Amino acid sequence: MAQQLIIIGAGGHGRVCAEIATRCRFTVTGFCDPALARGEAVNGVPVIASDDATLLDEWPDNTHLFVALGNNARRAELGELAPQRGIALATLIDPSAIVAKSAEVGSGSVLMANVVINANTRIGAHCILNTACTIDHDGELADGVQIGPGVHAAGDVAFGERSLVGVGVSLIPGVRIGREAVVGAGAVVTANVPDGVTVAGVPARPIRR
């Protein structure tokens, strides 16, 4: 029997997560999104709330939660709050994803279509691994990390809390991405990126702190 699921966030990311959830045999019973009015439908799923605080206070029984927000800090905040309220978080792994038996995936994370996670990689809670990204052996993703579509990380790459890696980035073996750092789309990362720094280019260079 399919488990029921409510998703916070009905934007593009939320809609993708809803389809993954369906493939993972959840029944998506509603969205919560402040940009939409209660009663609207998004791809056939009703918007049941526009305020996440009210939603969590009135949580239905036997229902899981998935937080589908692109904002890393807010996604982690809500994901950490839910278990304190006795709400079970869903972890979504698309059936097409390849995840090594020795890898670990934290609660509230999503692995989208054609993601590859290789041996002894550890993925924290509330992470987003977008379409067709690959994390090779011994990778380390802290909580709240977001990896863009088509990113390719070689072995032993570490991503700090709430870091963001844009579309199509390549990372050489052993580099470290700092906490809340940002890597711009298409960059090639050949050196460590400090906490809170934005890098871009080939090779990636700091452009903003």
Assess whether pLDDT exceeds 90 at residue 2. no
Residue 40 has a CB neighbour count (10 Å cut-off) of 15
Q: Is 95 exposed, middle or buried (0-12, 13-18, 19+ CB in 10 A)?
A: exposed
The three-state DSSP-derived secondary structure of 154-165 is CCCCEECCCCEE
Determine the average pLDDT of the residues in 16-43.
95
pLDDT of 42 reads 96
Mean pLDDT of the chain: 96
* All domains of the chain in start order, with CATH: 3-90 (3.40.50.20), 91-203 (2.160.10.10)
User: Quick one: pLDDT band at residue 209, thresholds 50, 70, 90?
Assistant: low
Closest CA to 119 of 135, 130, 106: 135
User: Is-contact 142 123, C-beta < 8 A?
Assistant: no
From the candidates 13, 64, 126, 137, which is the catalytic residue?
137
pLDDT of 52 reads 87
pLDDT of 1 reads 60
13 part of the active site: no
Give the bridge partners for 134, in sequence order. Answer: 116, 152
Assess whether pLDDT exceeds 90 at residue 197. yes
At 180-191, the pLDDT tens digits run 999 999 999 999
pLDDT of 98 reads 98
In this structure, what DSSP letter does residue 89 have? B
Q: Say how far apart CA 79 and CA 65 lie, in whole Å.
A: 9
Q: Say how far apart CA 32 and CA 10 lie, in whole Å.
A: 7
What's the chain's length in residues?
A: 209
At 36-84, the pLDDT tens digits run 999 999 999 999 999 888 889 889 999 999 999 999 999 999 999 999 9
Determine the average pLDDT of the residues in 7-27.
97
